[in-house]
Structure formats: C-alpha cells, structure tokens
Structure 1
Amino acid sequence: MASNVGSRAFQNARLQKKHRKQADELLPRAVAAYRAGRPAEAQAICGQILALLPDHFDTLHLLGVSALDGGQLDLAEQALIQAVEIEPRNAEALSNLGLALFNRKRYEEARKCQERAIALKPNLVVALTGLGNTLMRLGRPDEAIAAHDRAIALKPDYADAYCNRGMALLPLNRNAEANQSFDRALSLNPRHMEAMFGKGLASINLRHFNDALAAFDAALAIRPRAVQVLAQRGRLQQQAGQFDQAKADYDAALALDPRQDVALLGFAQLSVIKNNIAPAIDACRKVLEQNPASEVAWTWLAECFSKQGDLATALQHVEHALELKPDFGDAITAKIFLLDFMPDADFAQHQAVRREWWTRIGAQIARRPQPLRDRDPERRLTIGYVSSDFRTHSAALVFLPVLRHHDHEAFKVVCYSCSPLRDVMTEQCRATADVWVDAWQMSDEELTDRIETDQVDILVDLSGHSAGNRLPVFARKPAPVQVTAWGSGTGTGLPTIDYFFADPVTVPEPARHLFAERVYDLPAVITTDPLQGWQPTPLPMLRNGHVTFGVFNRIDKISEPALTLWSRLMSALPDSRIVIKNGALDDPFLRDGLVARFVAHGIAQERITCLGLSTRDQHIAQFADIDMSLDPFPQNGGVSTWESLQAGVPVVAKLGLSAASRAAGGIVKAVGLHDWVTEDDDGYIAIAMEQAAQPAELAKLRAELPAMVASSAAGNVETYARKVEEGYRLFWRRFCASA
C-alpha cells in the first residue's frame, strides 16, 4: 500500500512539473498577446494554463487584468479574487482587485483592497491614485487629492495621477486648479484621453465653452466611441444653444450605451425645452431605474410634471432631489418657480425658498471687499446690466425700452451679455450700451473681476432666478449698489442685492418686510415698447354674436383653479369661445391634455381653439379675434398682459397672494382699468359677464385703450425710464450718505 501511495505522489509530482514547464512556455506568449493588444488570444492561452494549473497565480493575475481592461468585470473579479487568495500579500493583485471592485461601484470593498495593497507596498503609485479615485466616489475629496499627491510625489511623471487629481478637484469647484492638473498630464502624455476629457469638464465649469469644445473634440479624435465624451459634448452644445448638434451627440452616445445617464438627462432636458414631454419622462425614468439617487433625474422629472400641470407631484420630486443633495442649485431653482405656480403659496413661502438658495449656495460664496468709488452723489454713474437675455426673449421686451431711453450724459451704460445666442434683438440691445461685454465665456470670478475693473456703481440683475442668471456674481457684491429688476420681478432672496423694482400693487406694503431687498416703486413692475404699426380692430363680438376670450400665455400658467374658473365662466356664457395660444400647443400630447381638462369641466371641445408657435407679428395679429383676455393665476401674464392692452383688448385680472400673482393686476390698474381687477373668483366672473353684456361699451374701450396705455406713466416708456433713473440717483445718494 505504501508503495502505491508513493508511486502516485511521484507520478503527480512529475505531472505537476510537466504542467509547470508547459505553463512557463505558455505564459510569455499570453503576456506578449496582452501587450500587443490581442486580449482574446491572451485570455485563451490563460485558459490553457489554468486547465493544467488552476492555482497558477501569474496566470490568474494576467487573466484578471486583461478582463478588467476589456470591461469583463465578472471574469476580472473572479480571477483576481482567486489570485489574491493564493498570494494574499501581493500588492499588485490587491490593487487590481480594488480597481475591479471600483468599476463595479462597490467602493467600500475597493477601498479596503487598495489600502491593504498600500500597507504592503507604500510606494505602489497605481494603488495610491486608485485609492484616490475610490475616496472621491465615497465623498471624501480632500483625502482623494492627498492620495493622488502622494502618488505624484513618488512618481512626478505619472500622467494618470495628475489626471485623477484633476478629476478629484472638479467636485470641489476648484476648476482652474483642475485644469492645471490636466495640462500637466497632457504635457506628459499628449494623447491622454481621460485628461483631455477632464479638461473639457473643467472648461465647462469655468464657462470657457470654446476651450471645452476643443478638448472634447481632441478626446474624440483619440477615442471616437468614448460615450462619456459624446454625452458631455452634447451637454456643452446644448448650453451653447446648438440644439441639433446636442441631439446628434446624445443620439450617438445612446446608440453606444442606451443607459448612459448624462446623455439620457441631456436628452430629457432638450425634450422639455422643445415641449416633447413624453420622451423626456421616459429618459428620466431610465436614469432612475439604474440610479434612484440621481438628483438631476428627479429634478427634470419634476419639470416634466410641472409642464403637464401636476404641480403637487412636481414639488414632491424636487423635494426628493433636495433630500439627496441639499445644495443642488437646479432643484432649488425648480422649487422657486414651482411655488410661483402653486395656488396657495404666498409672499412668505416665495421669499423663504429664495432665502433657501442664499443659505445653501449664495452664503457659501466669498464676498468681495467693498469696492472704492468716488462718492460724489451727483456725478455720472456707471450702470451695469447683467443678463443672458439680450436676444429675442420676453425679458428683453421688458428691459430694452429702459436701455433705449437712458440719459447717457447722466449714466454710462455697460451691458454684460451672458449668452452665446445673438440675433436682431441682441444688436438693438448692443446699440443702447456705451460698453458691451461678451461675458458668456467668463467664469463667475472672471465676470466679477471685470465688473470691478469697469468701476460699475450700480449693478442690475435682469434675470432673478430664471435660466442663465448670474446670481453667484451678485453674491460676491462687486458693485457698491445692486438692484434686481424686470427679468423675473419677484425678488431674489440675496441680502447682497440692495433694491428690487416693483410697484405698490405687485408688492403691497404689508409684504415688503419679507424681501431681502428694499422695494422701490415704479409705475408698474414692467413695461414694454408700444406695438409697431398696430391699427385698431373692430370688436369680434359684433360680427360673431358671441364673446371670444383669449389666453396668450404659457400653458403651464393655466392652473387648475384658473381653468376651473374659466370653465365656470364659459358655462355661464354658453355661446362663448376661448382661444389659447402658446408654442407648446404644437405638441399633441400637451394640446390634447389641455383640451381634455376643459372637456372634463363640461366645455365642449369645439368651443376651444388652440394655436401654436408663430412669429411675434402673427402672434399680435391674433388679438384681432379676441374680445377680452383672461389673465391666468396664480402665475400671471407679464409681456402678454401688455400686448393685449396695447392691442386694445382689456384683461380680466385677479390679485393673489404673491408678486407673481399680482403683477398683471398691477399693470392693468396702472393703465387706468381699475374696474377690470378683482380679488376673488366671483368678482372675476362678474367683470367678464358685465363686459360681455355691453358690447357697445367694450367696442368703445377697445378703440380708446391703446392711447390710454401710451399716455400712462407705466405705458409711456420714456416716462418709465426717467422713473428708473430717479431710482438709481436716489440709491446712489443714499449710498454716499451712508459713508
């Protein structure tokens, strides 16, 4: 028996020796195939070796690394776990297992492997920079940067460590420093695709869009099928207003990876902009299926529900996004605008959420020392206007009249244009300025520096919290006096903004203590230029035999309370019709949904006319078919209210509980139509029914109204501009006296 056992052991030993010899011959071939970029061949040879020697460490390690490079994460993890079990003190194998776990998003397990590798081999730079990447994903960016710095200290020419360090700096908003790290990586390896990609990300954050595009293009030249780069280039194109190019990049990214989150979210945002709500919802839900903690997806899903009028669900999604990331600015902004549309939200709630932006974001921004200025109260003042809407946009229709009628002997006008989009309106705005600054590629710090260099005395925000705003610049306080005006007209919540232009109706005295800014009254919260070439039109009711109401507003302003009240009015006037005009109504999904809401209230479909996108001239011409306009609430009309009045079509308005729900009432009263403004639903219906019952009086008002508007202090743009300038001079005198 002993003889047989010894014989078998001898035979096994001989067989093992033979297998090891075969392995020693095969392994160099596998390594050569791997290094030559033939992973399938390398893995096949590894399989041959492991069939002979299942516990061959070097082969398992090579197989794991090869699989890791090719994204075969199951195989990589399995092979590397076996390798580490065989040689638990091999630092390189531990480091590579950590990388495999990192790629599987099991970051805590990855950290433990990487830290074990570093403990065994403190100068293993691959493990150090890998640990830095893991720590960044674990929300420990300062420790991540320290790990990359240790790797760089050990190997100063290690391009990957510089690249990874740059990536760790991005979430800390240290973009300029990140760019330096990426540049260092590229100086060591000019074809380092990840460093080129990182440089693009940093440049987006710095608003250096041309640099970002060049970096992404270079990265794609190195690796044309880099999905993340395609997605981020799409995001960049979208920010630059190049929507077709953005969609092409999103489509290319999603063709390669249908679950790529940046591309899906970019596609969702683009779809919302184009009022294609159904595909936007689908894209958001695909992201949430794979990442339920995506605060961006929850926020854009909220935007989708808001567009459909489901404000309660939209607000729930925004609140969830803020639970996930309390300082997520896009979610706070979405909440600000959602509350503007909520029927029961009042001044206190509106200003509270604006203060929330300040507390979570604005207050964290370092404020500049008070700039030195000549405190002569009567000298020529430099007024700086900051906006992304010096273009064809409703906001430009509001502030352009003031720019055009400035007294340039008393005021020097500097416009800081923060959008890449330019058109005919841009040229009109530019013509009003003494100095024009293309600021769309300036970071907040760079724009702040430029405003200080320009010696701006009074800096005016024209956006509020609307898209493209530069409120972080105003948080830095680069000018002695700061004002918010016209673009949003609801206050900002920033204590660094001194004044807010409003009017006594839009912001009544009892509510003013709630604002961060000091309220200054103009004749109305906004004005607009008179309509060019408009000729009075006869009252449609006289030829139609019935009253036609008009709602020429965004359909997301058509709240359920407003629609319910309009349906009640139309039921009381069974021959009446309603015309609703908005570009979003070109989307059948939204149009059919709006009509269905009226039908659910008993209004026949044939009594409702929906009109979509048109030129502004065509838009204005449609007022010839309207007897009276119905102002929506709680989010009122603004420019649309002025357009209706200037066209001779009076507006029924109801005063609400906030600036957003009182603006139209303020405008209507400012032109002398006090009897057209009410404070409750019954009054709203009574006004409309009374006017519908006296067509002769309504026809007379229609003929007289354009002249009434033009002669009012609110509608006469020259008078309005003088009132604005009186405000600026008062603000400056107060500032000088405060010294």
Structure 2
Amino acid sequence: MKFYDRSRSLCEWERVEEWREKMRVSLAAQESNKVSPFHLLSIPGVSAAEQRLCADLWLKDRTDASAVERADLAFSYATSSRPKIRLGYLSCDFHEHATAFLLAELFEAHDREQFEVYAYSYGPDDGLGMRQRLCEFFDSFVDLQALSLSEAAQAIHRDNIDILIDLKGYTRGTRTEILSYRPAPIQVNYLGYPGTLGGDFCDYIITDPYLTPAASAGDYSEAFAYLPDSYQPHGRHAEIGKPTKRAQHGLDEHSFVFCCFNQAYKITPDVFDIWCRLLYSVPGSVLWLLKNSKAKGRLRNEAYQRGIAPDRLIFADDLPQIEHLGRLALADLVLDTQPYNAHTTASDALWVGVPIVTCVGDTFASRVAGSLLHAIGLPELIAADLEGYYDLALELATNPARLSEVRQKLADNRLSTPLFDIQAYTRHLEALYKTMWQRHVAGDLPIAIGQTEPRL
C-alpha cells in the first residue's frame, strides 16, 4: 500500500475509491501487516470498526514472531503502595515537534508530590530548545534509540513504571510495539494517534465524551478514560511571533483569506470541491495552504479544473513554531479537513484568535476539531455534513458582522474556557491516572472512567 501513501501525499485522487476497496478486501481477508492503520484514518467512508480491525491485524505478524521472547520475559509487577505513582511517557517526538509543543506545559504542571515522571525517547536529539526544556523537566530522561524492542521494554520494566503512556500509536517513526511486551502493569494510548491501537496490550485511551461517545466503545480495544472537556492539552504560554504584514507572505491586504495548514494527505477531493466552491462564491478570496513542493502543482491544477485561477492558492513555507503562530493570525477563517481533522493546527488557530469551521464524522480523527470547539465554547462552528460546512463557511466569509461576532466570542473565551487551562487539564488527567492505579491495585479490570457525559 506504499503507492497509496505516496499518491495521497501528492494529492493524486483518481484512485481513492479503488484503494479504499482494496484495503477493505484485505481487511475482510484478515491479511495481517498489509494495511497501515494510520493510512486508514484519512480515507473517506472508512468506519471506526474497520479502523479497529486494521489495528488488530497490523502488528499480528510481529507479535507472533516475538511471542516466545515475550513469554520468556514474563514481566511481573509490584503492587505495594508507594508515595508516588511513576509515569513513563514513550515517544520519538521529544524535540521540536507538534506533540511536544502540546505537551510541554502539561509535563511542567504535573504534581511532583504525587507523581514521578519519566521520559522514554527513541527519537533524535535535534539540539534545539524544546529538547533541552523537556530534559530539564523529567525525573529521568532515558534514550532508547540504540536498544531493541525487547531491551527497551526491559529498561522500562527495571524502572518500575506504574503507568506507561504511549504518545505515538501508528504514526511515523513509531515503536509502539514495545507495549506488546507489557513492561508496565497499566498502558495508555494518548494524544499522538487518533484511534485505537487494537490488540490486547493497551488498557486505556485518553479521550473525551464528544470525541468518543460511550456507544462507540466497541470500536476500541482500550477502555475510555474520559477527560471532562477536550482530550487535547494546550498551555497558555505558547509564544506568538511578532505581527507581520500579509504582503510578506504573498497575501493581498484586501483579500478574504481562507486557510488550512493541514498536511496534504488530509486533503480529500470532496473537501477540495467545497474549498473551490467557496473561492468561486467569494470573489477575490484566496486559499492559504501549507507548502508541499510535490503537491503544489497538483493542487493548482485541480483548482484550475474546477474553474479557479491557480494563483488563488497561496502556499506558506515551513517556519519555526513561534513565527508560524505570528503569521497564522493573518488568516480570516480556517477550513478543516475531513475525515482526518486538524489537530494541533486547529488549536494553533484558536490560540491566535482565528475561527475554524469543521465537519463532524464518526471516527476519532474526524471529531477532534469539534472536541476543541466544544471546549472553547464555539460548537456553532461544527457542521453536521459537508453541505452544512460549505454554508457555514460561506456565511462567515460574506457576512463581516457575523464573522466579527464569532472572532469576538473566541477572543472572550480564549482564556475563560477549558481549552487552554492547562492547570485544570493536568489535574483532570492526573485524576484519571490515580483511578487507573487504584483499580489495578484492587485487582479490577479496566473500564470506562472519568466523566462520561459532556459538561454543559
């Protein structure tokens, strides 16, 4: 399925339906290690149940191959009470990466009287500020890069980690397979991967009631650990770069700027149709996208085929996070993708005061932006379908008073609603960790925990 991956990154859409059906045939035949769960997240029409089946099959060959080694290790765990619960965060993204930007203030807000916090890194040290910041925070920062999966699991187990939190899932560079060795008594799927890990090696998934309603539990191998607001952390001290002029970024001062800085593989033909309809309906407007040198020409050609002048697509270069946030404020309205929503890019937009319009789906990845909008008190920006998404975006783009009202509400809610309240968020997350540990000590199996209904 590597061809499909390359095609989506290039926005080559001619064979999307063909590849979706091929993947479904593979899943129906129970073919293991054929379809990446990550690729399935961005395919329109794929259900959460299919995503779980894909995850169940993805690691099967690998875990079968390591079964004897895992049985020989047969880790056991101490359940005796000790003063602090020991958390281990596992990732390859402890550097200048979107996940680290979201988590940095949470790590720093952890209650050190109740928790010891370890990092297990199998990614590169880029030598930049975020890596240094994280290394200073953790009680122990352990580099696993040179270790095999088995050796990494043994290193984690020797540290007597109580709760191991995986931050990668099936995204690029993952070594989530470490969890299949069960180095910790409680293992958690959190933040990095918007879906189930499948199998039987992860006990809980951190979520919220909007993201994964109770009725969707059968589509997840993990028990739901519910936060009361949004599942996504975001601090209140993310620095926003100095204001710049639109002309510095190739934008006209008087144009209405629609914006989407999601990766190209998230853009689907149905959503791009809507974007082009908006450009047609709002004269002089432009669509500001994240630059992808391989997809740029393709997207401009797709726009031309839909009757839109190619130069109305403006492409933004990669910038350091602070500078990126500074320029993002120049946009008028962010347009989300579907079925794989904006995640960090959505909270970035809300943080700098730019509204985002989204369309809700049935999978984890398709409900993230809606989760964020609920947590910041703007559920009116969530459309039920793509036609409603178009209507909502068009109204905001052509009714300056309505857009101004929404932007003012966002400004008022930015620091008064739960989305960016990292201190409260951390306390809620820690309460979930404590409940997980108490249930384990009592010999109870994982079940849905936390606040299972959305807060009013």
Q: TM-score, normalised by structure 2?
A: 0.87
Q: 1:466 aligns with which of 150, 171, 182?
A: 171
8 Å Cα contact 1:370/1:477 also seen in 2: yes
8 Å Cα contact 2:240/2:352 also seen in 1: no
Cα-to-partner distance string for 1:131-160 (whole Å, 9 max, x where unaligned): xxxxxxxxxxxxxxxxxxxxxxxxxxxxxx
Cα-to-partner distance string for 1:100-157 (whole Å, 9 max, x where unaligned): xxxxxxxxxxxxxxxxxxxxxxxxxxxxxxxxxxxxxxxxxxxxxxxxxxxxxxxxxx
Letter in 1 for 2:283: P
Q: Is the partner of 2:428 in helix, strand or coil?
A: helix
Q: Which residue does the alignment assign to 2:188?
A: 483
Q: 1:347 aligns with which of 48, 69, 82?
A: 48
Q: Is the partner of 2:58 in helix, strand or coil?
A: helix
Q: Distance in 2 between matches of 1:420 and 1:321?
A: 34
Q: Which residue does the alignment assign to 1:494?
A: 199
Q: 1:561 aligns with which of 252, 260, 270?
A: 270
Q: Which residue does the alignment assign to 1:527?
A: 233
Q: Distance in 2 between matches of 1:320 and 1:691?
A: 42
Q: Are 1:337 and 2:46 an aligned pair?
A: no
Q: How far does residue 444 in structure 1 lie from its aligned partner after superposition?
A: 1.0
Q: Alignment RMSD, CA only?
A: 2.8
Residue identity (%): 26
Q: Which residue does the alignment assign to 2:260?
A: 551
Cα-to-partner distance string for 1:352-392 (whole Å, 9 max, x where unaligned): 1011124333355334535222343x841000111011011
8 Å Cα contact 2:88/2:119 also seen in 1: yes
Give 1 or 2: higher helix fraction.
Answer: 1
**Deviating more after overlay: 655-664 vs 682-691:** 682-691
Gap regions ≥5 residues in structure 1: 1-298
8 Å Cα contact 1:303/1:314 also seen in 2: no
Q: Distance in 1 between matches of 2:26 and 2:130?
A: 37
Cα-to-partner distance string for 1:490-520 (whole Å, 9 max, x where unaligned): 1211312100011122212221122100011
Q: Which residue does the alignment assign to 2:7?
A: 305
Residues 710/360 of structure 1: CA separation in 2 closer, same or farther (3 Å cut): farther
8 Å Cα contact 1:636/1:663 also seen in 2: yes
Q: Distance in 2 between matches of 1:627 and 1:560?
A: 23
Q: Are 1:441 and 2:143 an aligned pair?
A: no
8 Å Cα contact 2:117/2:138 also seen in 1: yes
Q: Which residue does the alignment assign to 2:360?
A: 655
Letter in 2 for 1:401: E
8 Å Cα contact 2:20/2:43 also seen in 1: no
Q: Distance in 1 between matches of 2:41 and 2:83?
A: 39
Q: Is the partner of 2:41 in helix, strand or coil?
A: helix
Give 1 or 2: higher strand fraction.
Answer: 2
Q: Distance in 1 between matches of 2:124 and 2:312?
A: 42
Q: Distance in 2 between matches of 1:436 and 1:480?
A: 20
Q: 1:382 aligns with which of 74, 79, 86?
A: 86
Residues 407/707 of structure 1: CA separation in 2 closer, same or farther (3 Å cut): farther
Structure 1 runs (4+) deviating above 4 angstroms are 312-323, 325-328, 533-540, 543-546
Q: Which residue does the alignment assign to 2:310?
A: 605
Q: How far does residue 700 in structure 1 lie from its aligned partner after superposition?
A: 4.7
Cα-to-partner distance string for 1:645-698 (whole Å, 9 max, x where unaligned): 111100001101211111111111211111000111221122212222332342
8 Å Cα contact 1:332/1:357 also seen in 2: yes
Letter in 2 for 1:622: R
Q: Distance in 2 between matches of 1:454 and 1:599?
A: 58
Q: 1:402 aligns with which of 94, 106, 119?
A: 106
**Deviating more after overlay: 603-612 vs 481-490:** 603-612
Q: How far does residue 545 in structure 1 lie from its aligned partner after superposition?
A: 5.2
8 Å Cα contact 1:327/1:361 also seen in 2: no
8 Å Cα contact 1:306/1:338 also seen in 2: no
Q: Distance in 2 between matches of 1:321 and 1:374?
A: 42
Letter in 2 for 1:340: L
Q: Which residue does the alignment assign to 1:455?
A: 160
Q: Which residue does the alignment assign to 1:578?
A: 287
Q: Distance in 2 between matches of 1:513 and 1:320?
A: 22
8 Å Cα contact 2:353/2:410 also seen in 1: yes
Q: Are 1:415 and 2:119 an aligned pair?
A: yes
8 Å Cα contact 1:536/1:648 also seen in 2: no
Q: Distance in 2 between matches of 1:313 and 1:348?
A: 20
Q: Are 1:738 and 2:443 an aligned pair?
A: yes
Residues 457/730 of structure 1: CA separation in 2 closer, same or farther (3 Å cut): same
**Deviating more after overlay: 390-399 vs 479-488:** 390-399
Letter in 2 for 1:676: L
Q: Distance in 2 between matches of 1:481 and 1:668?
A: 31
Q: Give the length in aligned residue pairs.
A: 430
Greater RCO between the two (CA within 8 Å, min separation 6)? Answer: 2
Letter in 2 for 1:529: G
Residues 682/420 of structure 1: CA separation in 2 closer, same or farther (3 Å cut): closer
8 Å Cα contact 1:646/1:705 also seen in 2: no
Letter in 2 for 1:532: E
Residues 460/608 of structure 1: CA separation in 2 closer, same or farther (3 Å cut): same
Q: Are 1:373 and 2:74 an aligned pair?
A: no
8 Å Cα contact 1:486/1:526 also seen in 2: yes
Cα-to-partner distance string for 1:677-728 (whole Å, 9 max, x where unaligned): 0111221122212222332342354355245233322321121111110110
Q: Is the partner of 1:390 in helix, strand or coil?
A: coil
Q: How far does residue 580 in structure 1 lie from its aligned partner after superposition?
A: 1.1
Letter in 1 for 2:278: L
Q: Is the partner of 1:483 in helix, strand or coil?
A: strand
Residues 676/570 of structure 1: CA separation in 2 closer, same or farther (3 Å cut): same
Q: Distance in 2 between matches of 1:361 and 1:533?
A: 43
Letter in 2 for 1:356: L
Q: How far does residue 577 in structure 1 lie from its aligned partner after superposition?
A: 2.0
Q: How far does residue 411 in structure 1 lie from its aligned partner after superposition?
A: 0.4
Q: Distance in 1 between matches of 2:426 and 2:365?
A: 22
Q: How far does residue 320 in structure 1 lie from its aligned partner after superposition?
A: 10
Residues 555/595 of structure 1: CA separation in 2 closer, same or farther (3 Å cut): same
Q: How far does residue 604 in structure 1 lie from its aligned partner after superposition?
A: 1.9
Q: Distance in 2 between matches of 1:734 and 1:440?
A: 33
Q: Which residue does the alignment assign to 2:95?
A: 391
Q: Which residue does the alignment assign to 1:683?
A: 388
Gap regions ≥5 residues in structure 2: 445-456
8 Å Cα contact 1:539/1:702 also seen in 2: no
Letter in 2 for 1:648: G
Letter in 1 for 2:116: K
8 Å Cα contact 1:630/1:651 also seen in 2: yes
Letter in 2 for 1:390: F
Q: Distance in 2 between matches of 1:467 and 1:580?
A: 22
Q: TM-score, normalised by structure 1?
A: 0.55
Q: Are 1:626 and 2:331 an aligned pair?
A: yes
Residues 322/634 of structure 1: CA separation in 2 closer, same or farther (3 Å cut): closer
Q: Distance in 1 between matches of 2:296 and 2:274?
A: 19
Residues 674/317 of structure 1: CA separation in 2 closer, same or farther (3 Å cut): closer
